[in-house]
Every structure is written in C-alpha cells, then in structure tokens.
Structure 1
Amino acid sequence: MIDTPLAMLENASLYASRHIGMTEEESGRVAAYLGYPSPACLSGEAVPDAIRESAPPGLPDAVDEQTVLQELAGLAARNKRMVNMIGQGYYGTFTPPVIARNVLGNPSWYTAYTPYQPEISQGRLEALMNFQTMITDLTGLPVANASLLDEGTAAAEAMMVLHRAAQSQSPRFVVDEDCLPQTIEVVRTRAEPLGIEVLVCDVASGLPEESFYGVLLQYPGTSGVVRDLASTITQAHRRGARVAVAADPLSLVILAAPGAMGADAVVGSTQRFGCPLGFGGPHAGYIALKADLRRQIPGRLVGVSVDADGRQAYRLALQTREQHIRREKATSNICTAAVLSAVTAGMYAVYHGPDGLRAIAHRVHRYARVLAAGLAAGGIELVHGQFFDTVLAKVPGRARHVVQTAAGRGINLRAAGEDCVGIACDETTRREHLEQVWAAFGVAGHDIDTLDGNVRTAGSPCPLREDAILSHPVFHEHHTETGMLRYLKTLADRDYALDRGMIPLGSCTMKMTPAAAMMPVTWPGFADIHPFAPAGQTEGYRELIRQLQQWLADITGYDAVSLQPNSGAQGEFAGLLAIRKYLASQGQSHRDICLMPESAHGTNAASAAMAGMRVVVISCDADGNIALDDLTAKLEQHRHEAAVLMVTYPSTHGLFEESITQVCALAHDAGAQVYLDGANLNALAGLARPGRFGADVSHVNIHKTFGSPHGGGGPGIGPLCVRTHLAPYLPNHPEEPHAGPAGGTGPIAAAPWGSAGILPVSWAYIRLMGADGILKATQTAILNANYIARRLGPHYPILYTGPHGLVAHECIIDIRPITRSTGISVTDVAKRLADYAFHAPTVSFPVPGTLMIEPTESENLNELDRFCTAMIAIREEIGKVASGEWPQHDNPLHNAPHTAESLTGPWPHPYSREEAVFPLPYLRTAKYWPAARRLDDAYGDRNLVCSCPAVQNYDIHAAQGLPPEAPLLLGASNHAR
C-alpha cells in the first residue's frame, strides 16, 4: 500500500464502489455463473447491436464525496441569500430542526416507496392522514387527497374535476385575474388541448355574462386583498357552475374557511408549512372537495379499512382509479404525489398544533398591519384595506425603483406593474426588515413599537374564522422535541424503507440515494432561494441547471432538456404537448392519435388523453415484444392521423426489444413522432442513447436513474429531453424568460424549473459516478436482474426473456400457473414476503397475476441471495399447499403477513407460530414486524373513510377532555390504537 501510486489511491476513494453493491470479484463471479466472462459481456449480449454505443457520454470525470460537497457549496455560495418578501405563492418558513433532521434528512422517510403495500406502510400512511385531516380542517371541506405537485397543477386538476362534474354544457372556465399569474398560465396550458376556454376577468366586479361551468378564485388574492367570497360563490351556483378556491393554508388558520362560504373545491400549496423555498420546490400541493366529488379526486387518497383481525388500519383508497387500470379513462395522469413534502407540512402542523399555528398566523398578519401603518403614515397609498400578509402599495411610476432600492438593502419585493409594489410578510419577517422596506419607499424613521401600539382593527382580515381547527389529539400531543422525535421514530418503525432492506420493485427502481447528495438540499444557499428572485441573485442555481441539462442531453443523446416537469407523468404530458405544437407548426394539427403497446404504463394513456389525443393500442406478441404486424397495420390504418408512437425502452416487460430501430422507422414513415418513455433509462445509461437510435422525445424519471429520493411517493422530477426540431416547443414560464423558449407550450408546473430544490441530488449523483460509474451501474443492474431470473427460474416461470435468454434490468415471474393449481395468489406471495422481511416486488403490472422484480445496482450479493432464498422458501411453502399438508385457505401465505400481536392467544392454524414468523434462520436476528395484518381492500373502497372517522370507532374523547363533536382522525394518535 505504501508504494501504491497516487492516482490509484484517488480512484479507490470514488463513490461508484460505494453505490454499486457488488464488488468486482462478486460481479465477475455472478457473470461466470450466468456464462459470461464479465458483466460488460453480458450487457453486450443483452443490448441489441443496432443501438449500442461504444463512446461514453461526455461527462466530467468522477470525483469523491468531499469534492462534490465542496463544488456544491461553491454553487450555493453563488446564490445570493436575501430577505424574500416577494410572496406570489412562495414564502419564507422555518423548518423545525426536529423535522428537518428526522424527516427530510432521514432515509427511513426519503428512501421509502409509495405505500401500495399498506401492511408495511402504516407509518407513512398515518403521516399522510395527518396531512389530509389538516387540509380538511383548514379548508372546511370533508375530503382531501394525500398531496399534489404544486398549487398551479392542483388548480388545473380542480378545473378538470369541476368539468367532469359540471351540469352546464359550457366549455368556459372563469379565472379571477387576482389569481397567481403562474397558476393562470398553468391552467391555460392544461385547458387548451381539451377545448376548455379560460376566461380571465375581474371577478370582484362581477361574473361574466357568457355561460361557464366553473370558477377559480384566489383567497387571499395575489394583490393581498381578502374578500368574502360567499356572494360570488352563490351567484356562480345559481348559474349552474361550481367554484374552486385557491387558498393559502396559513391564512386559513384565522380566515373563514372557503368550504364554509360554499366552495366546491379548495386547492393550494402547503409550502409555508415548513417546506423550504428551494427555488420553487418540491412543495406539497393540495386539493379538497365536497363529499359528492370525492370519487373524482385526483392522485392518492388515504382511507381506512380493516385488517384480518378486524383492526382498523390505513390504506390507499380507490386504487382501481390508478392509471394502469383506467388508462385513457383515468381522471388524471397523476400517479405520484409530494409525499416527503406532505409529511413535512403535516408534521409542522402536528408540532405546532392549532395554538402554535395561530400564533404564527397572527404574528405574520401583525407584521403586515404594522408595515402598512408605517407606509400610510409616510404618505404611501395602500390599494387594499383588507389583507392577511401581503400589502400592495401604490407608487405611481416608481415601482421598479422601489424594488431596486429595497434589493440594495437586502430585501426582495415584487413590482406589480409600474405603479404598485407588493410586500409579503411571513414567518421569517423581523422588525429590521420593515425598517428596510420603509427606507426603500423613502418613509424611514418610524418607531415600530409606537406603530404597533396604535394599530387596532384597521386592516384586519375579514371574514374571520370562528370554528375550531385541528381538534384531533395528534395535533395536541407532540409539541416537545422529545415527543416529536419519538412520534416520528414510532411511525418510521411501522414502515419498510431501503434502510431496512431491498425493495425489489420492477418498473420503480428503488436504488439508494447518496447521503452526500441529500445534504445540500437543506443548505440555506439552495433552500432559501425564491423562484422569482432576480437572475443576478441565482447564478449558482442557474449554473447547476445548465450543467445538469447538458449532462442529461449527453447521456440521452438528445439536443435540449427542460427540467420544469415535476413528475414523470408531467414530463409525458409536456412531451406530448411539444409534439402537438410541432405538428401544428407543420400544418399537421389534424394528427391526434397516440399509438402505444398494451404493456405501456397507464400514465402514458392518461397523458395522451390530457393532451387531446386519441389512444390506439398495439398488441404484443407471445414473447412480450411489440407485434410488428399489428403496429404496421395500425400505422397504415391511421396513416393520416397518427401523431405519435409512445413506447417504453427497455419495455415494461423487461426486454431489450431487438426491433426498436425498426419500430421507430415505421412510425416516422407514417408521419408520426416517436415518444420513448425514459422510465427505464437506468438500463440504457452509458450503453445506448434514445435520441440517437430513433426517438424524438423522452422524459426521464430521475429517481430511477439519477438517484433522487423517492420519498415514499414523491418528490419526483421528469426532465423532458427532445431533439432539435422539438426544442422550440418545450415548456416555458411567464415569470422567467430563461426557463424555456419564447414559443413554448406554456408552463406545466408552477415554478420555472419545477422542483429545483432537489436538482442538486441528481447533479451530485452524476458528478459522483461519472461516465464510467454510470456505465458500471447500468451493467450491474442488468447483471443483477439476470442473476435473480436464473436463480428463480427453476422454481417460478420467467414470463419473458430476450433472444439470448436474457432480461433487461427487471424480470417477471408468473404466479398464474401456481394460482390455477393451488389457489395461492400473487397477493399471497407478496404479503408473505413481508414475513421474510422484504418489500414485495411490483404486483400484477404489467401482466395481471405476476411479480415484476428489479434488484437495482445498489444491492450486494448477500441481499440478492437473501431475496432468492426467501422466494425459494415461499415456493416450498406453496408446495405444502399443493400437497394438501396445509389447507388452501389456512396456510402462512393466505394468512400473511403475521404481526407480533397475532402470535398471542389461541393458535388454530395447521402451521406453527415459528413457521409463521421465523421461516428462515436469519429472521431471528433481522426480523421486521408488519404493523398490520392483511387489509380488506374491498371493504375500504365500499366504506370510504379518508379523514376523521366516526366517534364510535374508538373511545378517546373523554381521555383527551374533548367534546363529543370534536373531529378525530383514526389512528393518528397512539391513544387510538
């Protein structure tokens, strides 16, 4: 070691060997087991020659973690931290350290998967139920979902909900001009492909004379004004229209709830509930609805069901609404959420409680009133007398001068045209900030205490809230750091995340997020930057964005990249809009058919429908490949209407289809574009580039390929990569000219660069891995999948393999023959895996009755073998059912999972307690105990309870000293268990 050259020592410290689970020796051994001299030879056999590239992408050389953190610190230092009083939907907030460290910085929360397996997700589901209950309490409506992507897209979702529920046949949707400008534009982007006409007008002056089906109002308005919306809502209802209100949740702590005014839907963002600004995200949007609209709600909804022991437990409700079942008939293409941000916001409310939130809200409002009093005392005219946190000051012709003067004093304000300046107070506002604002207006010299003493009711918001909020015990129990820390730990222990073991989900790619990459997310230089801050203050973010766009273009082989889409589904939608607009520019606007294979992810079809396209399905052959004869026939049938062929590569069946270049050529010959869904780019990165083998556009799920956190179901980013001819039609943004081309499709997210706050994660991942590391990660992912397929092949049928008997990065095992012969279902196998301390693979997608397994490159050989051993042991258990040793309806699989509590009391089963919970020796020292027995999904959907179940479900009112009418959230409190 003493004589080892420096270059070798430096290479030994590179991160790739930390991220990739197998050692060089182990991967060589596994390759030999599969019959190949190396992982590179195996991947060379698996990937078709026609698409494989020899030259690596032009990425900078990999560096170690210390260097990456130093480089990111340098970029963060180039972002100028200011006191942000811009408002416009984004506010300074303080994330309680106990939440920042134990949620945002805790892999138990940020490496968890979407809670589709509720028995091992009870902690996350409870946290989301807290969020839903917080929203229903504040909005005054009975149903809320488990978060959306941001306020702008939540408003667009509300527009669609009201459209589906409308009694009026009018295509018009009225939007108040005092709505957030970015929200107005996102709504317009979503409305245009569907033929919805958006009317923007001053609703305060009256509703338009034309017919309309729905209205969107802002409360408080962008100008800061607070109006009683009841009369406007009543007028809209009388005209047969429904009303959505975009509301700031902190204001709803003291303002009357929109639901109490008659609103049908309420949307907004919970950013100011402890979620850092992050240059625009990620933040948890929300939507709440009246009861009669509950089955129209987009995204995910947490509800309550019962488990096998009759105990109530949480689950995702109405799961048949998911896009992979409803496809183009889905109510939305949203298949994700902003879970990590929603948990943060919900825990912010839990930690502060109603009294703490009131104190924050009243303090924010008090600062705004004192600010306004000082301006008025200096002769500055105020536009509105009723406001919550935002003061609009009139300075004819001087708005930009005042804003520039304030910036020189370290304060960012908002110019509302040439004559007005908006000043927003928030949780971080201090006395000295008001003094600097007054000085910028030229009215310095006020004594704050004197002004504060003189301010009475003038400027008080109206109408005020009179009802109780957050009455459930969970919002009253955890206000100390000790209590909050233990509550978070209790919930985390009820979940299964990557910090416990492998999550072998096909299609979802649960790879490990580098801890070093997560650290910068909460650094003030990234976290405290407002998305509408002047360009000169955000040079670090802009350089990071520019570099990441270039790296993604190099890896994918495309020419231009947009980072605005804040989920993979949003990337799909943006890509289809770009194709739509490009075809229109070529005089081909009549082309409106989107062809896709039957194996496509359901969001593909839902996104196509949202983009105003008709879906035509292409069949797959017996080997799982696109049926070329059917594709050729459908393209010929729709030769003059085909707009796009949408394929996933490698396919959702886990195959490198040999015909992909031919498939692309056939589509182009028919005049269609090719959308290659980049969800599986982690099996291509470093080996092949979609932009060079025939595709025109792809989105990339960066959590799958570039290491950003899954977060229990979000945040996500779906960068859109396009060839040159589509670049002019990428998303743009009304508040930021550099966020996209001038002739683009409009914004598809509220912030110019979407969830920019987590872009440092993928930047760091690429910088840590370099071209060689990314190539090795891809090769290892393919190696691991084929290892599992080979080991499990003698025990379970492998549904699809390529021409060399190889799979791509995932494999599908077929449980259907087992079900036919024994009655053991794919669900039984999935639930039994929890007893073996594993998260289940993907269940019944893309083929019903199958399990799709993806090990990723992050897992070591021991973990792969542990999983294979568990699956083989389960197959042996199935054999005991087949032989009659265990009855079909009373065996460890049918009864799985088993909780610790289920072991107590009488044991009527033909298998032992030990066989139930310790089927393999390693479990005695590495046991994971599921928090619930198997849930009854049908019961949950029939008896939908998404917040505040009835009092008779538990008896804790008296123990908490609460009145009988106080709403309760089942299970959110330890007392409810």
Structure 2
Amino acid sequence: MKTDAFALRHIGPRENDLQYMFKTIGVENMDQLIYETVPDNIRLAKDLDLDAPMTEYEYLTHIQELGNKNKVYKSYIGLGYHPAIVPAVIQRNIFENPGWYTAYTPYQAEIAQGRLEAILNFQTTIIELTGMEIANASLLDEGTAAAEAMSLLYDVRSRDQKKNNICKFFVSEEILPQTLSVLQTRSTPIGVELVVGNHETFDFSSDFFGAILQYPGKFGQVNDYAGFIAKAHDKEIKVAVAADILSLVKLKSPGEIGADVVVGTSQRFGIPMGYGGPHAAYFATREEFKRSMPGRIIGVSIDVNGNRALRMALGTREQHIKREKATSNICTAQVLLAVMAGMYAVYHGPKGLKYIADKVHASAVTLADSLNKLGVYNVNTSFFDTILVKADAQKVKAIAEKNEVNFYYVDADTISISLNETSSVSDINQIISIFAEATGKESFKVSELSSTNNVPTSLERTSTFLTHDVFNNHHSESQLMRYIKKLERKDLSLNHSMISLGSCTMKLNAAAEMLPLSMANWNSIHPFAPVEQAEGYQIMLKKLEHQLNVITGFAGTTLQPNSGAQGEYAGLMAIRAYHLSRGDQHRNVCLIPASAHGTNPASAAMAGMQIIVTKTMENGNIDVEDLRAKAIEHKDNLSCLMVTYPSTHGVFESAICEITELIHENGGLVYMDGANMNAQVGLTNPATIGADVCHLNLHKTFAIPHGGGGPGVGPICVNEKLVPFLPTNPIIPTGGDQAITAISAAPYGSALVCLISYGYITMLGAEGVTNATKFAILNANYMKARLEEHYPILYSGEMGRAAHEMILDCRSFEEKGIKVTDIAKRLMDYGFHAPTVSFPVAGTLMIEPTESEDLAELDRFCDAMISIRKEIEVSTKEDANNILRNAPHTLAMVTSDTWTFPYTREQAAFALDYIAENKFWPSVRRVDEAYGDRNLVCSCAPIEAYM
C-alpha cells in the first residue's frame, strides 16, 4: 500500500471494508456494481489521459515552485481591486478553518446560527455604509451585481413603462470597464438597450427606465450625483450606484443622495485579490424591492419559544418556485468571503474603518501634491483614493516595472494610480522617484501624510454607521477570536460529521488543496496585472483547463463563470452565439425536463430563450416520446436541450444518447448540467453522451469548499464548434476568436480557488479521480441497501442501482403526522445535517454520501435514520407533543428544571450510544419562518425595535 498516496486520504472506505459493503449491496465486486449502475454504451473505452498523481508533499513543493513564477509587484491598478490587509485573526480562524469553510448554505437554520449571525453582520455593514434599507447575503462580484441591479430595475418598472416597452438603460462612461462588459452580455438577451454616455449631458427622456453610476468614477473622480438622481426620479427613472465600499466611510452614502440600488464589492474589507476572486459582492436596495432582490437574505425571526433566531428569509423568491419567472438565477454566492468582510468591520469598528479610509485618502492627497511639484498634474478635481495624472505612459511603465510597480495606463499620456490600505510613506516615495526619473526631475521624499481633505464638504459623510454593540466590542484579538469561536460552535460543518446533501456533493476539502490559498505569491496578484507577471497562474489555469477538457471529453474550457448558475448562463450564451453566427437568430426554444433544477429555466430565461417543459415519467426518467414530439414540433426554432446527467433523481438514464441525438437531428445543441458530475468522472463523460457543452461545479465534484453558501466556480467545457464563443474580458483578453462579452468581472473568475481543484486532480491522477467516482457510487448503494428496508427508495436504475445519490420517499409518514421537515430537524439531535429536503420531489430526502465518507460514518448516519424510522412508527397524527415534532432539542431544554414531554431527556438528546462521544447541540429550537417573513429584519437592530 502506498501510504503517501493522496487517494488513500481522500477516499473513505478502507480495503478491508469492501467485501462487507459488496455483500450488503449484493454484488461480487466493484466491476459488477459499476456495470449494473452505468449503462455499457456510454462507458469510456480507456483511462483518462492525466499526469501521474503527486503525493501531498510533492504537490506542495510543486505549487510553491509554480507560485514563485508569479511576480508580486506593488499594485496601484485599482479598477475595483485593491491590495488589502487580511487580519491574521480572521485568516487563521475563518479563512483557514474548516469549521467555517466546509459549512453548507444555511438551509437548516437551527444548526447554522453562527454563520447566519456573521452574515447578518455583513448585511448590517452594507446597509449602514450604503444608506439603504435592505441588503442581501452577497453576490458574486461587482460586475454581475451591477447586472443584477439592471435586471431588478427592469423588473420593477412602472405599469406604464412595461406597457410602452420602455427598455433603455443609461450607463455612465465612468463605469468600470469589466462591469460594462458584463452589462453588455446580460442586457441584450432580455431586451434591454444600453446607452453609454456622460452623466452630465444625459438626456432624461421618457424612453429610459433606469441608470447606473460609478461612485467614485473608474479613474477616481468623485462626482456629486444628487442632482442627476433627482432629475431621473422626476422622469420615473430609477438609479443604481456602483460604489467603492471603503470610500463610503468618508463619502456621503448613495442612499442619502437618492439611489434606488447600491452595488459593489467588499474585497477591500480584508479579502486578498487572488487574481480576481473570490470576493463577496454586495447588493443593497429599498425594502419595496425585496421580492425582486437577487440572492439570499438573512433575516431575524424567533424560535418556537420566542427566542431570537436567524434564518434565510423570503424563500418565495427562489428559483425552484419561480423557475423561468425568477428575476435572477443566482443560487449560492460568496458567503465565506462575506463572513470575512463582515468580521473585518466587526474587528475594526467604525473608528477603525474611519482611520483606514482617512489614511488611504491622505496617501492619495500626499501623492497628488508631490507629483504636482514634479509637473505631473492630477486631472481629478475631487477624489478618494485614485488620482489621474498626465505623463508619458510608455516611459513611466518601463521605469515602474523595473521597480516592480504597476499603475493603470489609460492611454499614451494618462495614468491612473490607486492607493490602498497597504500603502505607506515609503511606497509614496517610491512612486515619486519613478515619476521623477520619467520626467528627468530631481526626486525628493515626503516624511508624513498630508492632512488636506480633497472631498467636497457637500459630499463628506456626516451620518453615523456601525453603532451596534457587535461592531464596538471585539477590537482586541482575544475578543475577536472568542467571538468567532462562539459563532463557530453554533454551526455544524464537515469537521463534525458527514453532510449527505444530494446534488450538493459535500466531499472532503483536503488541507493540502487549501494551503496554497494563504501563500502571498498566489493570493496577492491583481487580476489586471500584465500576464507575464502571472506566469504561475497562467500555467496552473491552462493545466486545469486541460484536465477538465480530458475529464469531460471536450475541446475547450473557460474558468470565468464564478458559480454554477453563471456556468449555466455562460453555456447557454455560447449556444446562443453559435446559432447567431450561423444566421439562425430564430433558434431560441430551450427544452427543459420538468425534473430540472430551478436555476435551469431561470438561466434560460436570462439568455432570452423560450422555455418548453418536457414531461418526466413515473420512474423519474425523461419521457423520450414527449421530448421527441416537442423537438419535432419546434425543430425550426430549436436552440437546445438542458439535461442533468445522471438525472436529478440520481439515475443513469440509458436513453441519454437517443435523447441527445434527437436534439441534434432537429437542429439544436445539448447543454448538460454538471451538478451530478461526481458520478461520471473516469467512467463516462458529457462528450460521450452527446452533449455539446456542460458546466462543472468545482465546489462539488472538484473539492472547492461550499463556504456556507459560496465560493463556487462554474466553468464551462465545450466541444470544438463552441470554442470560438468562450467569453472574453475587456482588459485581459480571454476566450475564443468570436468571444462573447464577459460573463463575470475578472478574466479567470475566482482564480485563487481554482488552485483547489487543480490540486485535487493533480494529486489524484486518472486512477484516483475514477476511483472517487466508483466509491461515490459504492457508498450511495451501500446506504441504499441499508435504508431501503426502512424507507421507500423513489427511483433506481434499470438494474436496481442508484448512481451517486438516492431519494427517500417520506410522504407516507404524513399519515402519522410526521413531515419530512420533522425528520430533518430530528437528525440534528443525532448530530447530522439533513440531506436535501423536498428536492427534486416534495416530501422526500435526497442523500449523497460522496466518496470521502468511511464505512463507520456511513453506518452512523444509517443507524440514525433507522432509529428515526422507529420513532416515526410509534408516532400518531393526534400526538403533536412527540419527539420528532419537537425536534431539535437544545441544551437549554434538556437541562431545564421542568420537563413536560412524554419521552425522556436521554431519548431526546442521546438516542444512540455514539452521540454521547461527540454531541452537537443546536443553539435554537425550530425557527418560525412565517414570523420572520411577516416581520422582515435583515440587520443587527434588536428584534424588540420591530415588534
């Protein structure tokens, strides 16, 4: 046995467990199980052509050497990305802590109260700095947040505007270039006409519904937009503002000047640049628009005892309910980074943030004054952190790069310089010396920062912010460390027990994959740095693209989409571009099976497609005859089919090749949703089944952690006919020779966390990634074999096997008064997060164990489910006071002086022996969702203020 093989550490079951597992399932060996699970006609004929696997030690040496090829220059490029100081207490206790980064989206609120409080802190920070009424739990990046703002304003147009099809949207020429590119991508398919221009000369005519402004402008100018917004409102034009979060500490908030929506990125609040991400975007708006707001909102509610409890609010906005009528396809976002940014605000508090903002501004003023003495004049009449100077760009660039410094070169004689939190007096002196050499003037040094204020009095912030106790009590490291730990203890993550969420693939996020994220030569690169300074990144990203091409059988990959939903959208936009390139503008019909994930129809609607739903049969498979009829009916306008494989029901449908061929015969292309790719890698692939494009969830199959609701990465892999249409970026060109405009803000999306997937594949190699798939299938079928005596299994393959997940049908228990939610809450008492509840079928649990879980953990979970089944058996519909309907049971309940329940405290809290060894206590009782939606509070104000 190779004890240094990474596969040995990643894959759970041990060699000596296999015969027992095979016997339980009823097969002789792994080959028989795979034969009975994966249809023979789609099995790969040969092994994947990947490099030999590295050990963890070899990989970490390799990644350090690769990182050394990156050149970490002083970066003054700006454009929405700035060097930031990550407080060590936050880096060690959140960013590097599996208790935080392995958590799932907080669907089960009772065991996510710590994370929910941390997100509430983030939302409060955003609400108070922007001057708005409501904020969400984060979005993907500033560019896509701006696009979501445009979509929201389009959705909330007045009745007259909708009736008259008012569809023009004004974009200030001050907008960040990458944001403009994303807006261009997102506007066309939904029928919005962008008009880019000067806000000072904008024509406030009646054919506009909205506008977006940049505050400060892309090259630093601070404009007073109050007059613009007032005139816009007079014409029923609503206004979004993309605002620099740190500048809002010093500048009057957009809310105070009348903005309807405020968006931006929180990257400056203690998040490394990471060559473009991940960073938590923010989105804030008026409460009247809450039902159209994208993403998740964390709200304050109460539990059944009336105690304060947090949860995700307003679930009716979710895509699984609204489907193609959803205003956004955003599913998860950037919660781990939002938690960090919120904690940065907690750590520094209002005084600390003001000190940082003042220092950044003073640095910019000092530099402007100093360069002025050299005859290098600042064009900006008012600025926060960025000056725009006139000088010979070519000459300055040569000297700056020799000194390992990056500016942004606007044109031949204009240079933008953005100062930041890390800028020191010595940095300013270095910049002075660069310009002195370039202008042939004698250099000089400054010894202190200027006290001059360059923000007009009318735009200075006078309103208070972050007055709540949480932002004023944790300013020493001891205090913050204990606060973070207090919150962590309220959350159930993978470091406590398995999280068997079907369709979500909560596998091991190995420490060796995660370590490079903390290395400065990986996390300190600006996404718009010259590519020759990012050689290590370029090698790693191209290698990862190649690995994903090999795994999917496709010809090209883009890593730009920074979530699975973005990947869906990118794949559909590539298909749209392909049809347009052939003159087939009319091909806009997208066929989607009824069982598809809700983001599928939402993404198709965003891509401007007409959605036709096809039937699903009783066994959960696609109704091929209904699909055939609809494909033929719409053959003249057929654009594509969206299909998940294995199916959303956890089954390898044997008709898949017939299905894809049927679409091709009728002029369409096939988009495969890669949510269930963990059952394909090394055994089959999207190209083999006949797909043309697929997205991959790197935060599922390829081991990026879920981070409590993000980060995710959703690259798309495409066949040769779609390679030309892969997306580009306006500053660092990427993609094909007929590239669509940007899908997200950074050229390579969330490049930093792509290191994790690169490490996963590199350390596993061809045999390892294939075995990961086989063991995922093994673990699922082992659990199926143990549980099917106690729970009906809803769907199976033709030979009775599950793929990598299965659905337990809990609907019949309602006869005994027990709902699937009761089972989910009772599992908390057993120390487990519930599987996926009521998706894709209401009243069911979808279980996916992944390959990382060992036999003992699988058995613990099965034992818990079997024990709960026995509890269901003795329940009656009339008995509301039973152990399931009262679950979860908190420590306060079990230790209280009074006990009024018809079962013992031991039965409530310690139903099985293993629980006592590692008891997890939910911190609140069952949350009252309806109360929280009726009394929406999404900031840190005490609940009494809203009662």
TMscore range, shorter length: over 0.9
**Is 1:387–1:460's contact at 8 Å kept on the other side of the alignment?**
no
**Equivalent position of 2:816 in the other structure:** 822
**Equivalent position of 2:843 in the other structure:** 849
**Is 2:24–2:786's contact at 8 Å kept on the other side of the alignment?**
no
Please give the alpha-carbon distance, in whole angstroms, between the structure 1 residues aligned to 2:666 and 2:476. 65
| Other structure's SS at 2:699 match | helix
Give the 3 Å change call, closer, same or farther, for CA 901–374 of structure 1 in structure 2: same
Deviations 1:637-687 (A, max 9, x none): 212121101100000000000100011011111111001111111100010
**Equivalent position of 1:112 in the other structure:** 103
Please give the alpha-carbon distance, in whole angstroms, between the structure 2 residues aligned to 1:554 and 1:909. 58
| Other structure's SS at 2:459 match | coil
| Other structure's SS at 1:546 match | helix
**Equivalent position of 1:911 in the other structure:** 903
Residue identity opposite 2:881 in structure 1? D
**Equivalent position of 2:461 in the other structure:** 465
Match among 166, 169, 173 for residue 173 of structure 1: 169
**Equivalent position of 1:769 in the other structure:** 764
Deviations 1:242-280 (A, max 9, x none): 000000110000110000000000000000101000000
Q: CA deviation at 1:21?
A: 0.7
1:889 aligned onto 2:873? no
**Equivalent position of 1:630 in the other structure:** 626
**Equivalent position of 2:44 in the other structure:** 53
1:379 aligned onto 2:375? yes
Please give the alpha-carbon distance, in whole angstroms, between the structure 2 residues aligned to 1:16 and 1:457. 58
Give the 3 Å change call, closer, same or farther, for CA 913–451 of structure 1 in structure 2: closer
**Equivalent position of 1:31 in the other structure:** 22
Deviations 1:26-79 (A, max 9, x none): 123212321222223201220001110131111111111011001110111000
Q: How many residues are paired up?
A: 938
Deviations 1:815-842 (A, max 9, x none): 01111x2120000000000001000000
1:308 aligned onto 2:300? no
1:789 aligned onto 2:780? no
Please give the alpha-carbon distance, in whole angstroms, between the structure 2 residues aligned to 1:404 and 1:844. 60
1:702 aligned onto 2:698? yes
Match among 831, 834, 844 for residue 837 of structure 1: 831
Deviations 1:802-827 (A, max 9, x none): 111101000000001111x2120000
**Equivalent position of 1:5 in the other structure:** none
Deviations 1:616-656 (A, max 9, x none): 11111111110111111111221212110110000000000
Residue identity opposite 1:255 in structure 2? L
**Equivalent position of 1:729 in the other structure:** 725
**Is 1:407–1:413's contact at 8 Å kept on the other side of the alignment?**
no
1:351 aligned onto 2:347? yes
1:425 aligned onto 2:416? no
**Is 1:564–1:752's contact at 8 Å kept on the other side of the alignment?**
yes
1:928 aligned onto 2:923? no
**Equivalent position of 1:958 in the other structure:** none
| Other structure's SS at 1:218 match | strand
Match among 744, 747, 756 for residue 742 of structure 2: 747
**Equivalent position of 2:774 in the other structure:** 779
Identity within the alignment, % = 50
Match among 934, 938, 947 for residue 939 of structure 2: 947
**Is 1:27–1:780's contact at 8 Å kept on the other side of the alignment?**
no
**Equivalent position of 2:401 in the other structure:** 407
Q: CA deviation at 1:447?
A: 5.0
Q: Which moved more, 1:719-728 or 1:324-333?
A: 324-333
RMSD of the alignment, in Å?
1.5
**Equivalent position of 1:258 in the other structure:** 254
| Other structure's SS at 2:42 match | coil
**Equivalent position of 1:70 in the other structure:** 61
**Is 2:429–2:446's contact at 8 Å kept on the other side of the alignment?**
no
**Is 1:403–1:414's contact at 8 Å kept on the other side of the alignment?**
no
Residue identity opposite 1:772 in structure 2? E
Deviations 1:339-392 (A, max 9, x none): 111011000110111111111000000000000001111111211121000000
Q: CA deviation at 1:950?
A: 5.3
**Is 1:226–1:461's contact at 8 Å kept on the other side of the alignment?**
no
**Is 2:425–2:447's contact at 8 Å kept on the other side of the alignment?**
no
**Equivalent position of 1:244 in the other structure:** 240
1:270 aligned onto 2:300? no
**Is 1:352–1:479's contact at 8 Å kept on the other side of the alignment?**
yes
Please give the alpha-carbon distance, in whole angstroms, between the structure 2 residues aligned to 1:451 and 1:316. 48
Deviations 1:539-581 (A, max 9, x none): 0000000100000000010110000000000000000000011
Residue identity opposite 1:800 in structure 2? Y
**Is 1:373–1:451's contact at 8 Å kept on the other side of the alignment?**
no
| Other structure's SS at 1:304 match | strand
Please give the alpha-carbon distance, in whole angstroms, between the structure 1 residues aligned to 2:541 and 2:259. 39
**Is 1:131–1:342's contact at 8 Å kept on the other side of the alignment?**
yes
Please give the alpha-carbon distance, in whole angstroms, between the structure 1 residues aligned to 2:615 and 2:704. 34
Please give the alpha-carbon distance, in whole angstroms, between the structure 1 residues aligned to 2:731 and 2:168. 25
Deviations 1:420-456 (A, max 9, x none): 1000000111222222222222266565547745x53
Please give the alpha-carbon distance, in whole angstroms, between the structure 2 residues aligned to 1:565 and 1:410. 30
- Where do 5+ consecutive residues of structure 2 fail to align? none
**Equivalent position of 1:963 in the other structure:** none
| Other structure's SS at 1:881 match | coil
1:605 aligned onto 2:601? yes
Please give the alpha-carbon distance, in whole angstroms, between the structure 1 residues aligned to 2:60 and 2:905. 50
**Is 1:387–1:461's contact at 8 Å kept on the other side of the alignment?**
no
Give the 3 Å change call, closer, same or farther, for CA 451–855 of structure 1 in structure 2: closer
Q: CA deviation at 1:403?
A: 2.4
Give the 3 Å change call, closer, same or farther, for CA 99–394 of structure 1 in structure 2: same
Please give the alpha-carbon distance, in whole angstroms, between the structure 1 residues aligned to 2:449 and 2:317. 53
**Is 1:369–1:459's contact at 8 Å kept on the other side of the alignment?**
no
1:211 aligned onto 2:182? no
Please give the alpha-carbon distance, in whole angstroms, between the structure 1 residues aligned to 2:330 and 2:800. 35
Deviations 1:485-541 (A, max 9, x none): 111111010000000001010010100101111110110011000000001100000
Please give the alpha-carbon distance, in whole angstroms, between the structure 2 residues aligned to 1:343 and 1:873. 36
| Other structure's SS at 1:898 match | coil
**Is 1:151–1:286's contact at 8 Å kept on the other side of the alignment?**
yes
Match among 517, 540, 544 for residue 544 of structure 1: 540
Residue identity opposite 1:316 in structure 2? M
Please give the alpha-carbon distance, in whole angstroms, between the structure 1 residues aligned to 2:109 and 2:469. 23
**Is 2:144–2:182's contact at 8 Å kept on the other side of the alignment?**
yes
Deviations 1:397-430 (A, max 9, x none): x223212321111110001122210000001112
**Equivalent position of 1:961 in the other structure:** none
1:197 aligned onto 2:193? yes
**Equivalent position of 1:959 in the other structure:** none
| Other structure's SS at 2:858 match | helix
TM-score of the superposition, structure 2-length normalised? 0.97
Q: CA deviation at 1:207?
A: 4.0
**Is 1:255–1:461's contact at 8 Å kept on the other side of the alignment?**
no
| Other structure's SS at 2:143 match | helix
**Equivalent position of 1:594 in the other structure:** 590
Deviations 1:860-890 (A, max 9, x none): 10110011111010010011114x8xx5311
Give the 3 Å change call, closer, same or farther, for CA 47–132 of structure 1 in structure 2: same
Q: Which moved more, 1:714-723 or 1:887-896?
A: 887-896
**Equivalent position of 1:640 in the other structure:** 636
**Equivalent position of 2:292 in the other structure:** 296
**Is 1:393–1:421's contact at 8 Å kept on the other side of the alignment?**
yes
**Is 1:558–1:692's contact at 8 Å kept on the other side of the alignment?**
no
Please give the alpha-carbon distance, in whole angstroms, between the structure 2 residues aligned to 1:951 and 1:881. 36
Equivalence map 1:149-164=2 (5 Å): 149-164=140-155
Residue identity opposite 2:81 in structure 1? Y
Q: CA deviation at 1:461?
A: 7.5
Give the 3 Å change call, closer, same or farther, for CA 12–303 of structure 1 in structure 2: same
**Is 2:589–2:639's contact at 8 Å kept on the other side of the alignment?**
yes
Residue identity opposite 2:28 in structure 1? P
Match among 34, 52, 75 for residue 43 of structure 1: 34
